[in-house]
Amino acid sequence: MPVCGVPDNLYVGREYEKGTQDLRGLLKGASDAKFDFVVVSLFEKPRADKPYDHEGQYELQPSTISDLSLDSKTWSSAVVGKLSDCVNMAEAYTPAARERCRQAFEQELAWASHLGVYGIVLPPPQDASCHLYAAALGRVGLSGICTSQLMIRIPLLQEQVGVQVDGWNTWNRCRLLCDQSARLQVALELTADLPETDMELQRWLAEPVRAVFVPADSFLTNKQGFPVLSKRHKSFLMQLFRNKVQIILQGLPEGPGSEGETDKYLHYTARLFQSRPAPTPQEQFELPYHDYLQAPLQPLQDNLESQTYETFEKDPVKYVQYEEATFRCMQDKLALGKKNIVVMVVGAGRGPLVVAVRSAASRAGADVKIWAVEKNPNAVVTLKHRKLLEGWGNVEVVSEDMRYWDAPAKADIIVSELLGSFGDNELSPECLDGAQRFLAEDGACIPCKCTSFLTPVTTTKLWNDVKNYNDVAHFETAYVVKFHQAFYPTSDI
Amino acid sequence: MPVCGVPDNLYVGREYEKGTQDLRGLLKGASDAKFDFVVVSLFEKPRADKPYDHEGQYELQPSTISDLSLDSKTWSSAVVGKLSDCVNMAEAYTPAARERCRQAFEQELAWASHLGVYGIVLPPPQDASCHLYAAALGRVGLSGICTSQLMIRIPLLQEQVGVQVDGWNTWNRCRLLCDQSARLQVALELTADLPETDMELQRWLAEPVRAVFVPADSFLTNKQGFPVLSKRHKSFLMQLFRNKVQIILQGLPEGPGSEGETDKYLHYTARLFQSRPAPTPQEQFELPYHDYLQAPLQPLQDNLESQTYETFEKDPVKYVQYEEATFRCMQDKLALGKKNIVVMVVGAGRGPLVVAVRSAASRAGADVKIWAVEKNPNAVVTLKHRKLLEGWGNVEVVSEDMRYWDAPAKADIIVSELLGSFGDNELSPECLDGAQRFLAEDGACIPCKCTSFLTPVTTTKLWNDVKNYNDVAHFETAYVVKFHQAFYPTSDI
């Protein structure tokens, strides 16, 4: 049973180092200890007298004997299978031996697919260049023999030929060599030593990390003798929780009498997960929009719907600031001796700016005439209704496109909220330029200018979504996105 | 709150005949009476002095005043809006008047879209030919102004220019004129009189009926004074429930003191819905496959997965019959004085036929040698394991393709289960033909022949799914389908 949380639950698995022929018994034990799934090797180590570079036909050695060990529902919900090290081509010095390794890899993948296991874990690439590893992956793993997702196990820090390397570089190289296949995921191993900078940790947050191996030896022991994680380990894990990772506890004590020890690790993990603050209503509302490509609104071309107006009107900051700006502008006008102020709200929608202007006028004690110009006939229905219902005596509702409206007077103040998510993507210059005709010579526009900001971002999920369209156009399209699994590689300028 | 049921709930709405400006009050009343949504006219009737054929600009008359009457969540979950009769072009005798009707229709649709209502209901076509109605629909309703589904209200029997016509013909004509748009749905009106034959009722079960209007005057009064439906009405409604329709009670008594009366109708409907028998485990299992195009398996090209074998092996009839057939065949052989019987199971999978043959042999007291030929190496792992575990002393597992296998003996009996869903769609002739080589001259094949059956079927949902591929190839492709919303227009031959 998963660890309950809001908005999602945590699934915790346990890795067993030794193979077993009694998979059912193993699962029973893990389930009794409240683990959700187990991680086991699906294959026997090749016998010393028959290594991969042995001559002749390779013969598959499933460690779990046959698929009948479990029913298919259990295979697909409770067993994550590890493949052998053959994909690393270790010690395969001849082309024939390499071919044999690839054969072994192909048969292993086919068997794992046949079982329909919950997850497939590939061993960490042993060679920094990843060439042979990625070639085997591309030719076999991603070619159609198996259609499941594949997790590559990547330690945060890895010893490779005597040098300590950052696992992200290995993953990145491997991923690039496999043409960024969306079927590759990461099973990240939380090593006892972490990379030096937080930047090196943070960039994992944009990667497709599906599971995190937490080895028993990455835990410290606190004064009470309980296993705990260091502050840095803890905070990194908390960030990973936000990306809905699964946890796999690794290297726990095995054998009779070890249940109590094991339980401490699981308990600590569950408590850590549940210590996350509950999401605010705002965060809850945003959940379904995380990392999802949204087409920007086209309010000039399409009439907005009632629901869209309603969402915009909920903005807790914007209209307060608009009222304040309009209030000050009116004070300036009054100070210059102006008696009657003409305000034009262009793109009035259902009236939030009209309300802000009326409220500013009443605070400033100004005598105003307001023109509410709106081209969406459905929003005009609402404006007219509010004029009646709320007694907007000084408001004239105009059902026109501001670009073509024949204004009966010059405006002292033009108020608009046409700005898009990024600068002018809702065509505000095209519309507002048409409205300049009726701005008085000493008139003011609110807002009078705007600035857009740019930053590069790493986001594997969205990049793949765009890539799936299979054309250049979508890479050159602007989207509105609530980023979640993202990494910002640069600091502010 | 919907009426609870298994596997789905029932949503019941109430239609109000009169327009109201107090929509909030209306909803409160309906909700207190336990209705899930209301059905109301979104527009005022055109004033007598300003009918649609009146000159000049048409001006929209929303009956609910403004979108601010309700919040958008309520609009989208609790209000079904009826459009006015303008789409029928009634009494629009001049081209100008028709243009005005289309304008009205366009503005009404735009307003309904703006509100984002839960459903949009168009009035029944008044003219049997449906030409003007469908033209307006095609030009306006399905052209992009609005992207919601549109329900056309269709009475089962309808008076048109003094003649009673079957509503299905009207719907069918309208649908064809609109190029079978998948955005058109039916709001079926259960009239007091029903079409004569059950065939005429049944064909509705293949149509996209989303809601059913049940008028108060289609109810009878039973001895206790309660409203009940006739047997035929009841049985038709029960069939419609299977297609997840919503119910709209129509013409209920309105005004103070009518709550008790109203409740009887709702109560009857809920009881009827809940009287459906609970689905069997088999039906539950099949639910997600209803009306879904599945590509047939390609067991020759792809190796089947463990889970697929597991599903097949659950067949409660097949293997019993195979055992029986093999048993009788063995008896025949024994009667002819045969001592040792050679049986070849070609396409043995994980062994269900091997078990059936072994069991038949033991019943017949026959001395058999069984060859289990299987080309999927993953299934061979299972076969070998079962041979060991279950002591299949008389079984030889052969990891070969039957088409190329060099059989060491001739078979007295060849047993296979390669048949696809429709005749030879899993390439059984291609495979079994290759196996004829090793059948003894007096040998028998089980099965020795097969027959496939064909029947035409009406299924709007699947037809649209195929049409969406936008090519001819998909119309000429064989699919495996569990039909649900379907109608079989012919009887057995």
A149-194 tens-digit pLDDT: 899 999 999 987 778 899 999 999 999 999 888 899 999 999 999 9
User: Mind telling me how many Å the CA of A72 is from chain B's nearest CA?
Assistant: 5
pLDDT at B420 over 90: no
pLDDT at A234 over 70: yes
User: What is the DSSP code string of B68-120?
Assistant: GGS-HHHHHHHEEEE--GGGGTTT--SHHHHHHHHHHHHHHHHHHHHHT-SEE
pLDDT at B58 over 90: no
Q: What pLDDT score does A254 carry? A: 83
Choose between A146 and B171: higher pLDDT: B171
Confidence category of residue A51, pLDDT binned at 50, 70, 90:
low
Q: For the segment A348-371, what is each residue's pLDDT rounded down to a tens digit?
A: 999 999 999 999 999 999 999 999
pLDDT at A48 over 90: no
Nearest to B307 among A66, A116, A350 (CB): A116
Q: Which of the following is catalytic: B15, B108, B189, B417?
A: B417
User: Mind telling me how many Å the CA of B301 is from chain A's nearest CA?
Assistant: 11
Residue B318 counted as an annotated binding residue: yes
How large is the average pLDDT for residues A66-87?
91
Choose between A279 and B59: higher pLDDT: A279
Which residue, B421, B416, B430, is CA-closest to B300? B430
Q: What pLDDT score does A299 carry? A: 82
Distance CA A102, CA A30 (A): 33
Q: For the segment B134-149, what is each residue's pLDDT rounded down to a tens digit?
A: 998 888 777 766 778 8
pLDDT at B2 over 70: yes
**Residues across chain B:** 493
- Is A107 in Cβ contact with B377 (below 8 Å)? yes
How large is the average pLDDT for residues A366-393?
95
Q: What pLDDT score does A46 carry? A: 66
Q: What pLDDT score does A47 carry? A: 61
pLDDT at A139 over 80: yes
Q: How far is CA B256 from the centre of its chain?
A: 42
pLDDT at B52 over 70: no
Q: For the segment B287-306, what is each residue's pLDDT rounded down to a tens digit?
A: 999 999 988 888 888 888 99
A196 is catalytic: no
If one counts every other C-beta atom within 10 angstroms of the C-beta of residue B365, the result is 9
pLDDT at B90 over 80: no
Residues from chain B contacting residue A66 (CB–CB below 8 Å): 381-382, 385-386
Task: Extract the annotated binding site of A for S-adenosyl-L-methionine.
Answer: 309, 318-319, 374, 401-402
Q: How far is CA B85 from the centre of its chain?
A: 31
Q: What pLDDT score does A326 carry? A: 97
ipTM: 0.78
pLDDT at B341 over 80: yes
pLDDT at B98 over 80: yes
Nearest to A303 among B65, B72, B114 (CB): B114
- Is A303 in Cβ contact with B377 (below 8 Å)? no
Question: How far does chain A reach from its first CA to its final CA, in angstroms?
Answer: 47
Residue B374 counted as an annotated binding residue: yes
**Mean predicted lDDT score pLDDT of chain B:** 90
User: Mind telling me how many Å the CA of B340 is from chain A's nearest CA?
Assistant: 31
User: Mind telling me how many Å the CA of A115 is from chain B's nearest CA?
Assistant: 5
Q: Which domains does chain A have, with CATH numbers?
A: 12-278 (3.20.20.150), 306-446 (3.40.50.150)
Percent of chain A with pLDDT over 90: 65
Percent of chain B with pLDDT over 70: 96
Confidence category of residue A140, pLDDT binned at 50, 70, 90:
confident
Q: Considering only CB atoms, which residues of chain B are within 8 Å of chain A?
A: 60, 62, 65-68, 71-72, 75-76, 107, 110-111, 113-116, 303, 305-307, 310, 350, 377-379, 381-382, 385-386
Confidence category of residue B50, pLDDT binned at 50, 70, 90:
low
- Is A385 in Cβ contact with B65 (below 8 Å)? yes
Q: Considering only CB atoms, which residues of chain A are within 8 Å of chain B?
A: 60, 62, 65-68, 71-72, 75-76, 107, 110-111, 113-116, 303, 305-307, 309-310, 350, 377-379, 381-382, 385-386
Distance CA A175, CA A184 (A): 8
**Mean predicted lDDT score pLDDT of chain A:** 90
Distance CA A445, CA A53 (A): 78
In A169-291, the DSSP E strands lie at 184-189, 209-215, 220-221, 227-228, 246-250
Q: Which residue of B has its CA nearest to A380?
A: B66
Confidence category of residue B99, pLDDT binned at 50, 70, 90:
confident
Percent of chain A with pLDDT over 70: 97
B417 is catalytic: yes
Q: What pLDDT score does A360 carry? A: 97
